[in-house]
Amino acid sequence: MRTLGVARQAARRAGEVISRYYRDGVEIREKSEGNLVSAADVEAEQAIAEVIRDAFPGHAILGEECHSDPAESEHLWLVDPLDGTTNFAHGIPHFATSIAYYERGVPLCAVIHNPIRGDWFTAVRGEGAIANGRPARVNAHAGVEQTLVASGFFYDRGPLMESTFEVMQEFCRAGAHGIRRFGSAALDLCGVGCGYYGIYFEFQLHPWDFAAGRLFVEEAGGQVTTTTGAPLPIALSSVLATNGALHATATGLTRRYG
Ligand code: IPD
Ligand code: CA
Ligand code: CA
């Protein structure tokens, strides 16, 4: 698939930019309270857009930093150049470039790349999910008491954060092995697809955060909806990703707050 090759090439270019800034240091500023950004985010997105535009001049790009074509575009690339900027800013090598290609609202291919660890997660609709060259598969946990739960919360320090903590407690009371908050929604979704945890939820994400990871989970055999169980829009949304077997149980706990 040509779009997958282009997405990989774009992610590689972004990875070069990000790795250089990670090594040499870069000034970090606050976009809004707690929401960090740096030249690495912006330059990486520009590098990605250059590769996409060279290959597909007519395609639309919706990116976090500087591309805002309409989400309804027939040929749409969803780009988060650096997902996990807070980790990046604090020197934690857990962040990724996330790129997805959607045609008429349907995700066709996805690439998520952590340039520091050299990790590659890719998915093609109908062809499965691959993590570092090997097929990825969700786990087979059938109950909350057999699994780990991952989550995250936006830069909100109010009701969204409170609801997230409430639901984390509910999962703990239901016997989950633990809660993980790693700081990159794209990599959290890859974690579900790789079977590390059976459930991941977050109450507010932008489409560029989840567009690629969502296809990765689905192609790995999992299920992704909003936290109320509705189909995911290409818009600001809550996200619930599970191994499939746990979806109904998880929705039962997240829907009250979503
Ligand atoms: C953030 C990360 C984080 C999630 C936030 C996102 P950014 O993206 O994915 O894990 O909890 O909701 O906004 O700002 O680092 O690209
Ligand atoms: Ca993000
Ligand atoms: Ca970002």
Per-residue pLDDT of the chain (258 residues; tens, 9 = 90+): 799 999 999 999 999 999 999 998 778 878 777 777 788 999 999 999 999 999 999 999 999 999 899 999 999 999 999 999 999 999 999 999 999 999 999 999 999 999 999 999 999 999 999 999 999 999 999 999 999 999 998 777 888 899 999 999 999 999 999 999 999 999 999 999 999 999 999 999 999 999 999 999 999 999 999 999 999 999 999 999 999 999 999 999 999 876
Task: Determine if ligand 1 sits within 6 Å of the CB of residue 213.
Answer: no
Q: Which is the closest atom of ligand 1 to the Cα of 183?
A: 10
Closest of 38, 214, 244 to residue 112, by C-alpha: 214
Q: Which of 62, 64, 65, 83 maximizes ligand 1 atoms within 8 Å of its Cβ, making it the mutation to test the pocket?
A: 83
Task: Determine if ligand 1 sits within 6 Å of the CB of residue 45.
Answer: no
CB atoms within 10 A of CB 166: 13
Specify whether the CB–CB gap between 240 and 229 falls below 8 A.
yes
Per-residue confidence (pLDDT) for residue 41, from 0 to 100: 94
- DSSP three-state, residue 108: strand
Closest of 177, 178, 211 to residue 60, by C-alpha: 211
| Three-class SS of 138-162 | CCCCCCHHHCEEEECCCCCCCHHHH
Ligand 1 centroid–CA 105 distance in Å is 23
User: Please, which residues bridge with residue 106 across strands?
Assistant: 103
User: For atom 13 of ligand 1, which residue has the closest CA?
Assistant: 154
Task: Determine if ligand 1 sits within 6 Å of the CB of residue 205.
Answer: yes
Specify whether the CB–CB gap between 230 and 256 falls below 8 A.
no
Rounded Cα–Cα distance for residues 195 and 49 (Å): 32
Q: Which of 28, 86, 209 maximizes ligand 1 atoms within 8 Å of its Cβ, making it the mutation to test the pocket?
A: 209
Between 207-219 and 185-193, two packed helices, what is the crossing angle to 10 degrees?
10
Looking at all shown ligands, the one closest to residue 154's CA atom is: 1
Per-residue confidence (pLDDT) for residue 29, from 0 to 100: 77
Q: What does each C-alpha distance from 49 to 4, 13, 15, 247 come to in angstroms? A: 14, 10, 13, 35
Q: Is the model's pTM score more than 0.95?
A: yes
Looking at all shown ligands, the one closest to residue 44's CA atom is: 3
Looking at all shown ligands, the one closest to residue 205's CA atom is: 1
DSSP 8-state class, residue 190: H
CB atoms within 10 A of CB 219: 24
Residues 92-109 have pLDDT tens digits of: 999 999 999 999 999 999
Ligand 1 centroid–CA 44 distance in Å is 16
Q: 124-163 burial string, b = 16+ CB within 10 Å, else e?
A: bbeeebbbeeeebbbbebeebeebbbbbbbbebeeebeeb
* Six-digit token string for 247: 């979806």
Per-residue confidence (pLDDT) for residue 256, from 0 to 100: 83
Ligand 2 centroid–CA 185 distance in Å is 6
Task: Determine if ligand 1 sits within 6 Å of the CB of residue 85.
Answer: yes
- Residues around ion ligand 3, judged by CB within 5 A, are 64, 80, 82-83
Per-residue confidence (pLDDT) for residue 148, from 0 to 100: 98
Per-residue confidence (pLDDT) for residue 258, from 0 to 100: 65
User: For atom 6 of ligand 1, which residue has the closest CA?
Assistant: 154
Rounded Cα–Cα distance for residues 39 and 237 (Å): 27
Domains, the chain, ordered by start: 2-135 (3.30.540.10), 144-254 (3.40.190.80)
User: For atom 15 of ligand 1, which residue has the closest CA?
Assistant: 84
